[in-house]
C-alpha cells in the first residue's frame, strides 16, 4: 500500500472511530471463526450452524470493538503499540465473554428435541472450555487487531 492510501484510510478511520473499531474487530472475529470452523460449517450447508459459529463471534467482536475500541484510534489516549495490543487483547477477550452466552442462548432456543441443554449449563461449559482451548488465540488475534488499528491511525499523527 502506498503511503498516500494509508494516510487516507487513517483519516477516514479517525473520523468514525467507533465504526472503524467495530468493523476491524468484527471482520477479525469473523475471519478467525471461519478459519477455525470452516471444515465443519461448510459441509453442513445449513444456515443455523453458520449463524452460530460464524455470525455470533463476528457480531460479538464488532459490538465490543465498537464500544471499547475508540481509544485505539486516538494516539493521545493510547500512547504506544504495547498498550494498543493489550487493549486489543482485552477487547477480544470481552468479545469472547459476550459470545459464549449469546451462542448458548441461540443454541438452546434452536436445539433439537432430543437435546436437553440449559442456557446456564451450556454457558458455563463453554466458558470453561473456551478458556482452555481458544482464549489464547482470541487474545492474540485481538492484540494484533488493536496494534494494527493503532499503527494505521497513528500514521496521521506523523
Instruction: Show contacts of 45-51: CB within 8 Å, 24+ apart.
Output: 48/110, 51/106
Where helices occur in the chain by DSSP H, the ranges are 3-15, 17-44, 47-50, 56-68, 81-110, 119-133, 135-157
Enter the pTM of the model: 0.90
d(CA 85, CA 96): 16
Lowest mean pLDDT among 39-48, 112-121, 138-147: 39-48
What is the separation, in whole angstroms, between the first and last Cα of the chain?
A: 17
Distance CA(57)–CA(25), nearest Å, equals 10
The pLDDT of 16-38, averaged and rounded, is: 93
pLDDT tens for residues 133-147?
999 999 999 999 999
Phi and psi of 64, rounded to 5°?
-70, -40
Q: pLDDT tens for residues 58-95?
A: 999 999 999 999 999 888 888 899 999 999 999 999 99
Amino acid at each position: 500500500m502506498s503511503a498516500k492510501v494509508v494516510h487516507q484510510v487513517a483519516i477516514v478511520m479517525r473520523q468514525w472511530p467507533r465504526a472503524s473499531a467495530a468493523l476491524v474487530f468484527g471482520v477479525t472475529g469473523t475471519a478467525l471463526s471461519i478459519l477455525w470452523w470452516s471444515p465443519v460449517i461448510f459441509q453442513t450447508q445449513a444456515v443455523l450452524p453458520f449463524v452460530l459459529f460464524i455470525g455470533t463471534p463476528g457480531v460479538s467482536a464488532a459490538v465490543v470493538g465498537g464500544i471499547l475500541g475508540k481509544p485505539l484510534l486516538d494516539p493521545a489516549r493510547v500512547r504506544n503499540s504495547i498498550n494498543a495490543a493489550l487493549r486489543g487483547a482485552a477487547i477480544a477477550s470481552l468479545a469472547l465473554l459476550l459470545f459464549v452466552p449469546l451462542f448458548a442462548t441461540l443454541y438452546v432456543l434452536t436445539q433439537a428435541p432430543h437435546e436437553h441443554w440449559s442456557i446456564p449449563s451450556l454457558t458455563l461449559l463453554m466458558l470453561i472450555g473456551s478458556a482452555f482451548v481458544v482464549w489464547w488465540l482470541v487474545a492474540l488475534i485481538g492484540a494484533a487487531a488493536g496494534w494494527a488499528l493503532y499503527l494505521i491511525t497513528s500514521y496521521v499523527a506523523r
